Structure 1
Amino acid sequence: MLPEQETPLTGGNVAAGLVRVGDTVRRPVGYWTPAVHALLEHLWSVGFRGAPRPLGIDEKGREVLTYAEGEVPWPSHFDLLDPLDQLARVGRLVRELHDALSTFNPPLDAQWNVLMPADRDELIIHHDLAPWNLVIGDRWVFIDWDNAGPGSRLWDVAYAVHGFIPMSAHPEWQRADAGPRLRVFADAYGLDEQQRRELAPMLTARTWAMHDFLRDRAALGVEPWATHWRTGHGDAWRSDAEYTERHTGRWRRALLG
């Protein structure tokens, strides 16, 4: 029998060596892979279908995951998330994910690829819930779990809000309806009043954290972050953080009004 064809998968900012083989994705492994596979298998065991399922390691030493068929919204298909009911679906999916993660007990020897410390250690979270890591198809699936690790619900939500609203200073992405979209997301997730009060300032803190992470890694010459910094990613995160900070009152009113 002839081996199945490998089709390279492109478009990401970080990962390399991704290929599709039939209905699977093959990816390079890291020291964190066993922990991530345990997490993904847990999600499937409790009925959550918004993540890939791990299928082990192939003969070339690559991890094997189920392939998610569909479109990635960012940047060319963001119109898929323009309707408020679609945005609400993201908020509900994130809540379902966090509820499923809340029952996960990591293996005692779990090692996580932690790129930056979160606000607190509440549960294992994705750390990169964004429109570049969501596949919209028959199922909606969050991909790219390499940076999963300890964090909090609000740390994940704040990052998701940045991408899915989006909260951007860039003229092409800045939204006059950012406040109402934030409210829709928060309502769909089911944030309580205390969480809404905490989220308003965290939106800025989380965005600055991305800028500072890129700055610090670039100063050490660590790739691919040094290249990202050199090509303007740091400037973009700084502008978004300043924009988000200027409008903190607007976000508070949207969340609590």
Structure 2
Amino acid sequence: MRRPAGPWTPAVHALLTHLHEVGFAGAPRPLGIDDQGREVLTFAPGTVVWPDHFALLDPVHRLGRVARLIRDFHDAVQGFVPPAEASWRVFIPADGADIIAHHDLAPWNLVADGDHGWVFIDWDGAGPGTRLWDVAYALHGFVPLSAHPAWQRTDAAMRLRIFADAYGLDEAQRHQLVPLLSRRTRAMHDFLRQQAIDGAQPWTRLWDEGHGDAWLSDAEYIEEYEQLWVRALVS
């Protein structure tokens, strides 16, 4: 696979190399830069989960598999030392930085080869962040925690618990996570709104297509049912 490179590419390649060297198989491996200045990555066979293959996350053991894959990544990256003067491309910074996070762990960035290899792609936005910032974003997409009638789940609380248990969140992390669920989702709306004000692409197009409204509706839905998420996580 060949993709446009940028100032962030050396740091991202260092990250992906580290993940490969410590045995994490859920990310592509970097193969360098080609003669046109594009980054070269190993190809991940399979199908992107979102939207047509979202059913791959049912039955629920597959949702647990996603959570464990994310936990494996977070554990694998714990020992990563970024290159000196690393340049990252983080669009929405987290409050704190205990790891180098992916920042976009979502169904549209998960390639599943049936029940075989599962790989997260699109690491260009990786950078300093926190485990819980990554997890909050992943829960929005994989549960999903959505107000949209096509995606809203009557079993969302159960799926939230399955994910948290499979990831291995401790009690303190569960309490910290709940307010992050809406904050992380609302941050996407705020980011798209600002990018649209600035006229930056492709974000302006996404805003015009209504993605900003969708993120805001999801944030309000998450806030409305916050006590349900608390009971699901800590009961």
Interval of TM-score (by shorter of Structure 1 and Structure 2): over 0.9
1:217 lines up with 2:195 in the alignment: yes
**Bigger relative CO (Cα 8 Å, ≥ 6 apart):** 2
In the alignment, the residues of structure 2 paired with residue 207 and residue 98 of structure 1 have an alpha-carbon distance, to the nearest angstrom, of 21
* 1:25-44 equivalence runs, <5 A: 25-44=1-20
Q: Which amino acid aligns with 2:28?
A: P
Which of the two has higher C-alpha Rg? 1
Tell me the CA shift for residue 59 of structure 1: 1.7
- The 8 Å contact of residues 90 and 103 in structure 2, kept in 1 or not, is answered as no
Aligned twin of 2:163: 185
Residues 154-184 of structure 1: CA deviation (Å, up to 9, x unaligned): 0000000000000000001000000000000
**Tell me, what secondary structure is at the counterpart of 2:32?**
strand
Moved over 2 A (4+): none
1:80 lines up with 2:56 in the alignment: yes
In the alignment, the residues of structure 2 paired with residue 82 and residue 47 of structure 1 have an alpha-carbon distance, to the nearest angstrom, of 27
In the alignment, the residues of structure 2 paired with residue 89 and residue 217 of structure 1 have an alpha-carbon distance, to the nearest angstrom, of 34
Tell me the CA shift for residue 245 of structure 1: 0.5
Q: Which amino acid aligns with 1:143?
A: I
Aligned twin of 2:73: 97
In the alignment, the residues of structure 2 paired with residue 209 and residue 120 of structure 1 have an alpha-carbon distance, to the nearest angstrom, of 15
- The 8 Å contact of residues 19 and 77 in structure 2, kept in 1 or not, is answered as yes
Identity %: 65
1:63 lines up with 2:39 in the alignment: yes
Unaligned runs of 5+ in 1: 1-24
Aligned twin of 1:7: none
Residues 42-67 of structure 1: CA deviation (Å, up to 9, x unaligned): 00010000000000011221110000
Aligned twin of 1:114: 90
In the alignment, the residues of structure 2 paired with residue 38 and residue 126 of structure 1 have an alpha-carbon distance, to the nearest angstrom, of 14
* 1:237-256 equivalence runs, <5 A: 237-256=215-234
Aligned twin of 2:102: 126
Aligned twin of 2:180: 202
**Tell me, what secondary structure is at the counterpart of 1:116?**
coil
Tell me the CA shift for residue 131 of structure 1: 0.4
Q: Number of matched residues?
A: 233
In the alignment, the residues of structure 2 paired with residue 36 and residue 124 of structure 1 have an alpha-carbon distance, to the nearest angstrom, of 10
**Tell me, what secondary structure is at the counterpart of 2:108?**
coil
Q: Which amino acid aligns with 2:226?
A: T
In the alignment, the residues of structure 2 paired with residue 194 and residue 30 of structure 1 have an alpha-carbon distance, to the nearest angstrom, of 38
Bigger drift between 116-125 and 228-237 goes to 116-125
In the alignment, the residues of structure 2 paired with residue 61 and residue 150 of structure 1 have an alpha-carbon distance, to the nearest angstrom, of 25
In the alignment, the residues of structure 2 paired with residue 95 and residue 117 of structure 1 have an alpha-carbon distance, to the nearest angstrom, of 20
Aligned twin of 1:158: 136
